[in-house]
Structure formats: structure tokens, C-alpha cells
Structure 1
């Protein structure tokens, strides 16, 4: 079984919605049930990549990678499974307001432990995470960070703990996860992570991702009166731009036969075909609100 990781860098704010909710936000973003950490469901990732693949691959290849299109009604045509399986998107770095750098990229031991586990499964080497045990009043930063004696994130102040081992994670993310190859326009972000990476406790991270997302109030106007239509006032939650996530892609069990067939036909196996799609269309729209510029994410095959 072959496993690969795709990094997902939000170039614009993202709204992967869950539908209406009875909370303070009518249209919230998708979140993990146990942790409350923002995510994008694997079905949404698969659908967006499938739509992109239609533009550069034949229909037969699209079906072999992603399976048959869903039936229009229950009891429809026989469905063929695809050769690829997609995980939900997993958060790695969350942008927060700060004093010093233009913004701080915040993570936690739990998020780093997840990416370490997934990277090792994919055959990638990454730094160790065992030493990260910040208290709720501490923030680990790199030795070359732009923070002062205290680290200010949102409305909170933390005791600064500069540690060279944080440098290793910053270099790993800069060199292997952020968009980079052949993209001089991303030089700022690759340098910025070295200056602004902050590791806080898991409980603090949960608070930041709960209260640090963008909540936008929107209205619908009467085209003639230019006044708000009665009842057309609602709030939407967005994952902020510059959020860094990733997802895991696995060649499904039936992909073994596809790999063998691809070798016989001198074609790329399923993951190779997906890599071709991402290389030809590195920026893909995920989630809703496409017509107002939301959800554009740059992908990178690790």
C-alpha cells in the first residue's frame, strides 16, 4: 500500500460548511468532532480533485482514480470504486494576530505529532516532537524569531522559550511542506515560518482555532430598493488565509491491480496520475463561496 501526503496552503479564506447550525454562527466551518479543530472532509477534497482531473485526464482515467460519479437517485447504476482514498484535511499551522511578525503561525504538540506519524507512514523523515511540552503560559519559538521578550498572540501573553529544536520543525515545514519548488513568489512564506513559528499547548491551540477563525456577517439586498431583504441576514465562518493543512492519500486495495496494469501499459500508477493533475493545476478551489473568491488552495505533493 502506497501512502502520500498533499500539503494544502490556503491562498484565500476557506468555507467548507456543515450547513446551518443553532449556534452563534449560522454557517460554521467543518470541525473534528472530538477536538473541535477545523478540517475539510475527505469527500470534499476528493470531489474538488475529481473536478480538476476532468480537465486534464480522460474520463476512463478519472473513473479509475476517483470511482464512478455518484448516482442521481437511490438504486442507480452500478458504481465502480476508485483507486485512491483521501483522508480529511489535517491542520498544521494556524495564522494568528501577534506583535512582532505580521502574523504568527501557531501549532501544538498534538498537531506536530499527527504530521510526524503521517510523514513516517509516507516514508518522510521529520523532526522529533517528544520534547514539546509547553505549559499554558509558555510559547516555544525558533532561535531567530522576530518576537520580543514576551510572545503576544491575539489577546494573550506567553513566556518566550527559544529552542533550536523548533528551528528543525521550521526548516522542515519551509523546505518540504510549504509551496516552494520553482516558486520565488513563496520565498516570503518560506522565510516567514522560520521567524514566526510558535508552539503552544494543545489547550491554547484549541482556543485559538475556536475563536480565531473569520466570522463574516452577510446580507442580501433588494436589487431595486437597495435595502436588506427581510430575513436575509446571516453569518459565515471562514478558515483564514495562510492556513496550512495537509491530507493523506492512499492507493486503495484495488489500486494494486491498476498499478500492474499501468506498468504493462507504460502509464503512471494512480498516485502518479494524481501528481500530474496537481502539477498542471496546483491551485484548486475547495468548499463553497467560489464566486466571491473563497477556497483557493495551493497543493504540493510531498
Structure 2
């Protein structure tokens, strides 16, 4: 099982299953309501950027309408992309990247190195000895704890260097702040005379500078003989360092930097 990381360069919107009133939501996990990128979105994008038809069928299988009428499974599978750290504005610290025990536990189970999840309110900036102001939340310096090995939880890449102020919040508080930190853009339809035609709507998006990851590996069809397919997938990801997911590509939305990361050795 491999991991691929995504560092959002722009707001990212992947359509949800429902629309409530004039709010166009994003894809969310049913049990946590946290935003995520569906595996079908990632798989579809990776499949679309392969030009060699043979490699495309080998990795992802065929589809209805392809030359072969019988559907066949490909050699690789793609998982959903989950949030690892999400940036929130702070009046006291500029930007703080937040996470929670649940989000860290999800990530740690894919690591080969044994990592212990720190206590809630552990942070990388305890030495500042100042209160933390996050949106409508205030954390007193006395409640914060030192997170000594926080860098072990940040995948090594030049683009992740700005992530230097990290904080672990309780799951429910983290989810609330993530909800408050989503981008919501107002869209108004105009006619040819530049006058409002109809109502308006809000579109949600995951903010830029969010760090996410997804897992991938070989399907049972490969049956231990798909090493070449895995190398092909890794090459595909490495050669497409900047990739775009979701809609609004013409507006520069959904662009991410992606890279493969070998799990930390034991």
C-alpha cells in the first residue's frame, strides 16, 4: 500500500451528493461530515491523463464503449483522499494548521514507523507562551502542551516547509473549525446585459494550503505480478507533479501538488 500526498495550491471543490437551498456543497464523509476527495475523482483524473491506451487499460481496466465489450478490472486501486492538516487563520499566530486524533490515527496506521498520537492541545509553538486565537476560539497558553516530534507527522517535501505551526484539537472542535474555514464563494448568474438573471448560490471549497493524502496499491487481479503496473502508476504521479481535481479549472481552482511518499522506515 502506497501513499500519495496532495498539497492544495488553490481552493478545491468536488461536488457533493446534495444541494441545500442555495448552497452547493462539497463531497463529505457520511459519518464525520468532513470534506474529502472521492477516490472516483482521483481515479478518473489519473486515467484521463494517460495517453497510451494499453497502459490505461492495464492500470484502470476498460469501460463501456471501449473496444473490448467485456468489462475487466485494472491492476491498481485508488483510495479516497483524507485531510491531514488544514490551515485556519489566527489573529495571534497568522496561520495555524489544525488536525485531530481521528485524522492522525487514520494517517499513522499506514506508517511503518511506530508513532504515538500526542494529547489534544499539543502544538509546535508552546515555547511562545501566548494565547492562541482561532476564529471564535481562544486557547489559553496554560492549556497547550509541547509537541516535541511534530515534524515526524509532516511528510517531507519542500512545499510542506511552511507548515510549522501545528495544533491538535479534539475531534469535535477540529471538525467545527474545519467547517468554519471552508471557502464559500457567492455566484450570481448574469444575462447578456450584465444584469442579475435569477438568484445566487454559494459554492464551498477546501482552502488552499491544506495537506491531504490518498492510498493506492495493487488489486487482487494483479495477484503479486503487478509490480510493473505499480511502477507505471508511480511514474504517472511523479510526471504530473501539478494536477487539477474537481470543477472550475478555467478559474484556476482545484490545483494541487502531488508526490509519492515512502512510509517512514521502522
TM-score normalised by length of structure 2: 0.89
- Go from structure 1 to structure 2 and tell me whether the alpha carbon gap of 1:250 and 1:244 turns closer, same or farther (over 3 Å shift): same
**In structure 2, how many angstroms separate the alpha carbons of the residues matched to 1:214 and 1:273?**
35
**In structure 1, how many angstroms separate the alpha carbons of the residues matched to 2:248 and 2:8?**
14
Q: Does the residue aligned with 2:214 lie in a helix, a strand or coil?
A: strand
- Go from structure 1 to structure 2 and tell me whether the alpha carbon gap of 1:148 and 1:214 turns closer, same or farther (over 3 Å shift): farther
Pair 1:227 & 2:225 matched: no
Gaps of 5+ in 2: 262-266
Q: Work out whether residues 85 and 249 of structure 1, in 8 Å CA contact, stay in contact via their aligned partners in 2.
A: yes
**How far apart are 1:234 and its partner, in Å?**
1.3
Q: Does the residue aligned with 1:275 lie in a helix, a strand or coil?
A: helix
Of the three residues 197, 211, 215, the one matched with 2:166 is 197
- Go from structure 1 to structure 2 and tell me whether the alpha carbon gap of 1:219 and 1:205 turns closer, same or farther (over 3 Å shift): same
Q: Work out whether residues 93 and 132 of structure 2, in 8 Å CA contact, stay in contact via their aligned partners in 1.
A: no
Deviations 1:122-164 (A, max 9, x none): xx325311x42x2xxxx3211576x55211111110133241x
Deviations 1:93-133 (A, max 9, x none): 011011243311000111111100122xxxx325311x42x
**How far apart are 1:284 and its partner, in Å?**
0.8
Partner of 1:152: 133
CA RMSD of aligned residues (A): 2.1
**In structure 2, how many angstroms separate the alpha carbons of the residues matched to 1:271 and 1:23?**
43
Partner of 2:8: 10
Q: Work out whether residues 17 and 27 of structure 2, in 8 Å CA contact, stay in contact via their aligned partners in 1.
A: no
- Go from structure 1 to structure 2 and tell me whether the alpha carbon gap of 1:294 and 1:96 turns closer, same or farther (over 3 Å shift): same
**In structure 1, how many angstroms separate the alpha carbons of the residues matched to 2:114 and 2:187?**
42
**In structure 2, how many angstroms separate the alpha carbons of the residues matched to 1:174 and 1:22?**
36
Pair 1:170 & 2:164 matched: no
**In structure 2, how many angstroms separate the alpha carbons of the residues matched to 1:257 and 1:151?**
50
Partner of 1:67: 61
TM-score normalised by length of structure 1: 0.79
**In structure 2, how many angstroms separate the alpha carbons of the residues matched to 1:20 and 1:31?**
10
**In structure 2, how many angstroms separate the alpha carbons of the residues matched to 1:4 and 1:87?**
10
Of the three residues 273, 276, 284, the one matched with 2:235 is 276
**In structure 1, how many angstroms separate the alpha carbons of the residues matched to 2:14 and 2:104?**
23
Partner of 1:125: 113
Pair 1:241 & 2:208 matched: yes
Partner of 1:85: 77
Partner of 1:262: none
**How far apart are 1:79 and its partner, in Å?**
1.1
- Work out the number of aligned pairs and report it: 258
**In structure 2, how many angstroms separate the alpha carbons of the residues matched to 1:49 and 1:86?**
10
**How far apart are 1:169 and its partner, in Å?**
2.7
**How far apart are 1:286 and its partner, in Å?**
0.6
Pair 1:43 & 2:43 matched: no
Identify, as 1 or 2, the structure richer in strand. 2
Q: Work out whether residues 36 and 81 of structure 2, in 8 Å CA contact, stay in contact via their aligned partners in 1.
A: yes
Identify, as 1 or 2, the structure richer in helix. 1
**In structure 2, how many angstroms separate the alpha carbons of the residues matched to 1:97 and 1:143?**
15
- Go from structure 1 to structure 2 and tell me whether the alpha carbon gap of 1:24 and 1:103 turns closer, same or farther (over 3 Å shift): farther
Deviations 1:195-218 (A, max 9, x none): x11111111011012222011110
Q: Work out whether residues 83 and 258 of structure 1, in 8 Å CA contact, stay in contact via their aligned partners in 2.
A: no
